[in-house]
Amino acid sequence: MLKDITIGQYFPGDTIIHKLDPRIKIIIIALFITSLFFINTFFPYVFILIFILLAIRLSKVPVKIVLKGLKPLFFIIFITFAINVFMTKGEVLFQIGPLTVTKEGISQAVFMALRLIFLITGTSLLTLTTSPISLTDGIEKLLSPFKKIGLPAHELAMMMTIALRFIPTLLEETDKIMKAQMARGADFESGNILNRAKNLVPLLVPLFINAFRRADELATAMEARCYRGGDNRTRLNELKLKRHDIIALVSTTFFFAFIISIRYIW
C-alpha cells in the first residue's frame, strides 16, 4: 500500500500538460479545489470528471498510476461515506441495529466520497506532471508579491517542495524497515486495528531516525555547495509565460467560473 501513494511522485513526460508553466498549473489546481467546494449537486461532477479525464489524456499519465493514489486513502473515503450515511437525517430507508440509513444520507455520502476522489485525483496530477524544481519556482514566483510584507517566499516554497519530494523517499524507507522487521518475526498484518497500531511503534523509531539523518545530510550538502537562495539566486530555466499558458489559464478560469455559477443558477 505504501507504494501506491502518488503524491510527491513525478511522472516524466513531454506533453502539453508537462510543458505548462508551473504557476499556471498551481493556479488551475487552486481554481479546481475552490470549485469542488462550491458544488452542491451531482450534475457539476460530470464536468469535473470530463476535466480530469481530459487532463489525464493530455498528460499521457497512465490511468492506473492516477487511480493508484486512491488506494491508501480508501479507509478515509470509507469512514467519510459511513459517517454521512448514518449521521444524516431524513427519510428512513432501513435500520441496522441502532443505526438508521436515510435516503438523504446515502446521497450525501456518495456526494462527499466523489468530492474526496476528485480532490485526490486532481492534486495528484499536479505533482505527477510537475518536477520538484519547477514546483518550487512556481510557488516562489506566486508568493513573491508577499515579500513586501516580510513573507519568506523562497524559504516557504523550498520547504513545501522538499516535503513533497521526501514523501516517496520516506515511504520507500518505511517499506525497507518493515520488510527487515518482518524478516525478524515482526507481524504488521494480523490482529485488530489497535494491535496493528501498537505493532507500528517499533517501525516509527528507526523511521524518524532515518528522516532526521537524511535532513541533516541534505542541509550539509546545501551548505557545502554554498546554497543561499533568495533574491540573488539565478536559475538555469527562467519561467516565462507562453501563448498556450495564457490560453490554458483563461479557458480553465471560465470553465471553473461556470461550475461555480451552477450553484446559484441551477
Percentage of the chain with pLDDT > 70? 89
Instruction: Give the pLDDT confidence of 115-135 residue by residue, as tens digits.
Output: 999 998 888 888 889 887 788
- pLDDT tens column, 9-33: 788 888 999 999 999 999 999 999 9
10 Å CB burial of residue 252 (0-12, 13-18, 19+) is: buried
* Residue spans per domain, the chain: 1-130+240-266, 154-233
Calculate mean pLDDT across residues 59-84.
83
The strand ranges marked E within 90-199 are 92-96, 99-102
Mean pLDDT of 36-49: 91
> What pLDDT does residue 95 have?
77
SS3 label, residue 101: strand
Average pLDDT over residues 210-229: 83
**What pLDDT does 200 receive?**
72
3-state SS of the chain: helix, strand, coil percent to 5? 75, 5, 25
Mean of pLDDT over the chain:
82
Q: Report how far residue 244's alpha carbon sits from residue 100's, in angstroms, rounded to the nearest whole number.
A: 52
Q: With pLDDT > 90 as the criterion, what percentage of the chain qualifies?
A: 21
Mean pLDDT, rounded, for 80-86: 85
What band does 248 get if pLDDT is binned at 50, 70 and 90? Answer: very high
pLDDT category, 191, cuts 50, 70, 90? low
User: 69 or 218, which is more confident?
Assistant: 218
DSSP-assigned states of every residue in 210-242? HHHHHHHHHHHHHHHTT---STT---SS-----
Most confident segment among 103-117, 176-190, 193-207 = 103-117
Of the candidates 166, 227, 228, the residue with the CA atom closest to the CA atom of residue 9: 166
The contacts of residue 62 (CB under 8 Å, 6+ apart) are none
Which set of grid coordinates corresponds to residue 66?
Answer: 492516477
